[in-house]
Amino acid sequence: MRHVLRNVALILGISTAAFCQAPSAASASSNSKSGFTPANLDRSVDPCVDFYQFACGTWRKNNPIPSDQPAWESFTEVYVRNQQILRDILEKQAVENPKRSVVERQIGDFYYACMDEKTINSKGIQALKPELDRTAAIQNRDQIIERMAYIQLLTGPSPVFNFSSSPDLHDASMVVADLDQGGISMPDRDYYIKDDEKTKTVRQAYLTYLKKSFVLAGQSEAQAADSAQTVLNVETDLAKASMDRTVRRDPAVHDHKMSLNDAAALAPNLQLVKFFKFAGVPSFTSLNVENPEFFKQANGIFMKYPVDAWKTYLNWQMINFAAPWLSDPFVQARFEYRQSLTGQKEQQARWKRCVDQTDNSLGEALGQSYVDQTFGVEGKQRMLKMVNALEQSLDKDIASLPWMTDATKKEAKIKLDAIRNKIGYPEKWRDYSSIKISRDDFLGNYVRAAQFEAHRQTNKIGKPVDKTEWDMTPPTVNAYYSGQFNEIVFPAGILQPPFFTKELDDAINFGGIGAVIGHELTHGFDDEGRKFDPQGNLRDWWTPVDAREFEKRAGCVADEYSAFNAVDDLKLNGKLTLGENTADNGGARIALMALLSTLQQQAKTAPSEDPLTHKIDGFTPEQRFFLGFATVWCENRSDEYSRFLVTVDPHSPGRWRANGVLQNMPEFQKAFSCKPGQAMVSANACRVW
């Protein structure tokens, strides 16, 4: 179970180079500033009425959404800088030179092949034809299972279900095989089963994308229409069998370890024993089945449709997987469908997409050059110092909680002390040398890189967990906490404005990167993270009375955020966003504690002016902390994108990541002299941590 600062990129299938695609430096607003500046403020607004508008109003006015974006956020400028740095690296390494190292040749040739639009367009669907022909040759259900196993090992497609590996929920030191629901191509089951007008519009756009793709693949208009409806029918049945995203937030619902024979008995028609043999994965006798009910229903769904229908479905899995890297008509058809989800007006420049995919496929190869240019030892040490300050604050917060008994506090401290901190980049770099990279076969490169990753994951089965591994690449502008690893991870890409600005004061930086660190630490104790022990095992270490007290406070947060509007009259799903909202609230609170502790230490040696009262730009340190905090969440979003995120994203919109937190903080209200009854003073303030 992993909590990221932002995970929209993963939901959309975008490279994890960043949580949000950003425009080039040339297309970014000329008014955009790096991190906090008083010029971003809207001083016509009372900070006690709408602090988000006060802190971000002028920034939002001066930073409209670029045409190649679904949203524009204050800190996507970090990504703009990263994109250009990565592009410069790749353009240099794409030039054939016998002096290139193996790593430089791999990333350079991968990028070169991706940028070779002429070759890609000349191949069209022929680039994928060998895979489609293999599916066309299928004659029976046994061969369907064999083909499913092959496609599964491409990581992108997951026909019918997902198969991979994960730490054992009850022995986090070992890796087990893992089966889960899957098989759908739209971002969430709701897009298949809800019947409101907005959802039906997206569903129709998906059906149009299906039909266009099948026509481009060589079918007649009538055949393509039939194929599109067949795929939608199959995926709708799989969606109906799938568990709701909000329910899946509870780690306990994923806990179904069983023997291989028992798993196979859930869905005898899927022939799981044969599937694993065809997949060529390490042998195992037990595995975790995350949603057994799904497999019981999939067993019937598999027999409901004839072999030809499954051949159509499997071909779609391959076409959709390859579409971003086929000829332009496929790329455009896919983009037009995605527009219905995000409202993005135009496709991104190819170089941006190729930079992202190089990072996605060969991230720890590309990341080596990135780290050399941007991070260094100084950045790592500075970050570790702040992490230490935040951990001390969380320790004090836990110790002082009035609602938690000493027995649970003792266990919480043990877990906090056991959290590992990964900063900047991995201790050892991943070796991609076994991947064949060709300068004239980008789709082949893309598939082989996907196969490499799929095999890398399944080859872990039955082995000890490698605690040194990272789930994000160094250039990533993001961070995460993993409950099963009990670790917080901060890639080098995030240690930049507006998160951290070395030229600015501690107050701004603790409001930025400090609150992010606090956010990730708090995830270890949110409604999901609290269910894992210091070793990453799913174990209840809470006393019953403390668990009840926690649930009461978490319920307050869920109800509070469920009352917030996302767009128009559409409310947030407070239960889906509960973990992130808990982390936002707790992270801000302990970051402020860390700032005040730091300033108190500085005051002991201050020659004259007290750091605790020293104003900058007319604001006290506490006020600047809150301004730095809100600056991180300044954003503009399209309405389509906002609706999409309510369905799939466990994070709240920027407005509520700022205002929702601050209206719960008496420290904020004191800093800005807010009065009871004003909007930024919650009448029923929620607090967990």
| CA nearest neighbour of 481 among 525, 547, 424 | 525
pLDDT at 231: 98
356 part of a folded domain: no
Quick check: helix, strand or coil at residue 72? Answer: strand
**Together in a domain, 496 and 641:** yes
What are the tens digits of pLDDT across the range 444-491? 999 999 999 999 999 999 999 999 999 999 999 999 999 999 999 999
**Together in a domain, 80 and 147:** no
The per-residue DSSP string of 8-69 comes to HHHHHT--TTBSS----TTTS-TT--SS--GGG--TTS-TTT-HHHHHHHHHHHH-PPPTT-
**Together in a domain, 77 and 149:** no
What are the tens digits of pLDDT across the range 384-412? 888 999 999 999 999 999 999 999 999 99
φ, ψ (nearest 5 deg) of residue 95: -80, 125
Residue 76 pLDDT level (bands cut at 50, 70, 90): confident
**Together in a domain, 57 and 147:** no
659 part of a folded domain: yes
**pLDDT above 90 (res 607):** no
Distance CA 565, CA 561 (A): 9
**pLDDT above 70 (res 33):** no
Q: How many CB atoms lie within 10 A of CB 82?
A: 26
| CA nearest neighbour of 23 among 63, 58, 67, 56 | 67
**pLDDT above 60 (res 23):** no
* Rounded percentage of the chain residues whose pLDDT exceeds 90: 87
Residue 16 pLDDT level (bands cut at 50, 70, 90): very low
**pLDDT above 60 (res 597):** yes
**pLDDT above 50 (res 21):** no
pLDDT at 316: 98
Residue 240 pLDDT level (bands cut at 50, 70, 90): very high
pLDDT at 26: 29
Q: What's the mean pLDDT when you consider all of the chain?
A: 93
The mean per-residue pLDDT over the stretch 430-439 comes to 97
pLDDT at 1: 65
**Together in a domain, 550 and 676:** yes
**pLDDT above 80 (res 59):** yes
What are the tens digits of pLDDT across the range 333-383? 999 999 999 999 999 999 999 999 999 999 999 999 999 888 867 777 878
Distance CA 342, CA 12 (A): 10
364 is catalytic: no
* Rounded percentage of the chain residues whose pLDDT exceeds 70: 95
pLDDT at 24: 30
Tokens of 272: 């799981």
**Together in a domain, 51 and 185:** no
**Together in a domain, 70 and 187:** no
Residue 543 pLDDT level (bands cut at 50, 70, 90): very high
60 part of a folded domain: yes
Q: How many CB atoms lie within 10 A of CB 399?
A: 13
615 part of a folded domain: no
Please report which residue ranges of 375-471 form alpha helices under DSSP H.
376-400, 406-418, 442-458
Q: How many CB atoms lie within 10 A of CB 409?
A: 15
Tokens of 675: 């009065």
Options 533, 584, 635, 649, the catalytic residue: 584
Q: How many domains does the chain have?
A: 2
**pLDDT above 70 (res 286):** yes
408 part of a folded domain: yes
**pLDDT above 50 (res 29):** no
The mean per-residue pLDDT over the stretch 218-225 comes to 98
Report DSSP state, residue 247: G
Longest CA–CA span in the chain (Å) reads 85
Beta-sheet pairing, 635-637 with 565-567: unpaired
Tokens of 513: 């990167």
The answer to whether 287 and 163 have CB atoms below 8 angstroms apart is: no
CA atoms within 13 A on the CB side of 286: 10
The mean per-residue pLDDT over the stretch 267-271 comes to 98
Distance CA 648, CA 106 (A): 35
Quick check: helix, strand or coil at residue 159? Answer: coil
Starting from the edge strand earliest in sequence, which strands make up the sheet with 487-491, in order? 2-4, 480-482, 487-491, 420-424
465 part of a folded domain: no
pLDDT at 193: 97
Tokens of 208: 């149009």
**Together in a domain, 597 and 535:** yes
Distance CA 498, CA 32 (A): 11
Residue 3 pLDDT level (bands cut at 50, 70, 90): confident
Instruction: Give the CATH number for residue 413.
Output: 3.40.390.10
Residue-range definition of the domain harbouring residue 215: 129-325
Q: How many CB atoms lie within 10 A of CB 253?
A: 12
pLDDT at 34: 61
The answer to whether 509 and 385 have CB atoms below 8 angstroms apart is: no
671 part of a folded domain: yes
Identify the bridge partners of residue 118 per DSSP, sorted by sequence position: none
**Together in a domain, 478 and 598:** yes
Tokens 């996302």: give the residue: 566
**pLDDT above 70 (res 8):** no
Options 116, 364, 520, 640, the catalytic residue: 520
The answer to whether 38 and 671 have CB atoms below 8 angstroms apart is: no
Quick check: helix, strand or coil at residue 166? Answer: strand
Distance CA 352, CA 361 (A): 14
Tokens of 59: 């920034």
Q: What is the sign of the dihedral through the CA atoms of 361, 364, 369 and 371?
A: positive
487 is catalytic: no
Tell which of 325, 353, 388 closes a domain: 325
347 part of a folded domain: no
Residue 531 pLDDT level (bands cut at 50, 70, 90): very high
Side chain identity at residue 245, one-letter code: R
Identify the bridge partners of residue 637 per DSSP, sorted by sequence position: 71
Residue 79 pLDDT level (bands cut at 50, 70, 90): confident
The mean per-residue pLDDT over the stretch 22-27 comes to 30
**Together in a domain, 270 and 394:** no
Instruction: Give the CATH number for residue 174.
Output: 1.10.1380.10
**pLDDT above 80 (res 616):** yes
**Together in a domain, 58 and 157:** no
**Together in a domain, 382 and 317:** no
What are the tens digits of pLDDT across the range 634-684? 999 999 999 999 999 999 999 999 999 999 999 999 999 999 999 999 999
